[in-house]
Amino acid sequence: MRHTGLVMLCLGGAVLLSGCQPTSDAQVERALEDVNLIDESNLNDVMLTVADPAEAVKYFTDAIAINPERIDLKRGLAKSLTRAQKPAEAAVIWRQVVAHPEALPEDRVMLADTLIRSNQWAEAKAELNLIPPTHESFDRYRIEAMVADADKNWAKADSFYEIAVGLTTRPANTLNNWGFSKLTRGENAAAEKLFTEALTHDPALYIAKNNLVLARAAQRKYDLPVVQMTQTERAELLYSMALAAIKQGDVNVGKGLLQQAVETHPQHFEAAARSLEALDSNVQL
């Protein structure tokens, strides 16, 4: 009897295992699908950040050929085209994205961004006007500020820049753009303050260093600001300051700054040396 019971138990176990087998297969398949999705998501992220832009464009183009309705792949292609310096082509894809049933307001923000990059300011403004006012994002206000700048609506530009800066943990580039806007208006002291603030967030941002020098030179402050810089950058900033001084009529100051630039540069500074020779020969720069 003991053997019979053992056999029945084993048979019962076999039946139980047999009944559970289809469920286990389904679970395994779902698990594998989840892993594939995670792997694809990771690869998409890599393509959007560190991959060569041309390689990323090919990757997303091939992926869309297989899954033409995937909006995430189209977003990836549009972003990759932007990275590849092809904003006009990126705008075409973003228009497909905003027409998709699963499109989000931020997609239209990105369309406006690419339109600006391809110098289509009126079209960008039209797209921004279609975005609900309840949609608030860093990129939305950054782009709104740029459009307001282009329209010379300074009050609105300042308001949008201020909001954008408050919506990001990396405001250096936006502060630099805001500072440049102030510089073009002739508000040099305000521009200097914004460039300085930008450099507190990103001390390596060279364009902000150069703009800071220009803002100071416009106020006839012809000494270099106390910011982090390499020896080559120091020479280049002296050169920018020299040219600004000469254009303002401070020729002797400019000549001295050019001499400093030549002496400071770790290699031969051709542009500064040529400008210095032009001054010595009384040739107008």
Neighbours of 22 (CB within 10 A): 9
CA distance linking residue 212 with residue 209, whole number of Å: 5
Q: Which of 80-84, 251-255, 276-280 is least confident?
A: 276-280
pLDDT at 16 over 50: no
Provide CB contacts within 8 A for 93, sequence distance 6+: 74, 77, 78, 81
| pLDDT value of position 198 | 98
Q: How confident is the model at residue 30 (pLDDT cuts 50, 70, 90)?
A: low
With CA atoms as reference, report the closest residue to 238 among 263, 218, 205.
263
Collapse the DSSP code of 110 into the 3-class scheme (helix H, G, I; strand E, B; otherwise coil) and give the result. helix
- pTM score: 0.80
CA distance linking residue 108 with residue 85, whole number of Å: 19
Residues 218-240, mean pLDDT to the nearest whole number: 96
| pLDDT value of position 49 | 75
Identify whether the C-beta of residue 184 lies closer than 8 Å to the C-beta of residue 153.
Answer: no
What Å distances lie between residue 123 and 4, 81, 95, 106, CA to CA?
A: 84, 19, 12, 16
DSSP 269: -
| pLDDT value of position 43 | 77
pLDDT at 224 over 90: yes
Sign of CA dihedral 66, 69, 73, 74: positive
Residues 250-270, mean pLDDT to the nearest whole number: 95
| pLDDT value of position 31 | 44
Placement of tokens 């309840």 in the chain: 134
| pLDDT value of position 46 | 78
Q: What is the pLDDT of residues 204-223, one digit of tens each?
A: 999 999 999 999 999 999 99
Identify whether the C-beta of residue 191 lies closer than 8 Å to the C-beta of residue 180.
Answer: yes
Identify whether the C-beta of residue 158 lies closer than 8 Å to the C-beta of residue 174.
Answer: no
Residues 112-132, mean pLDDT to the nearest whole number: 97
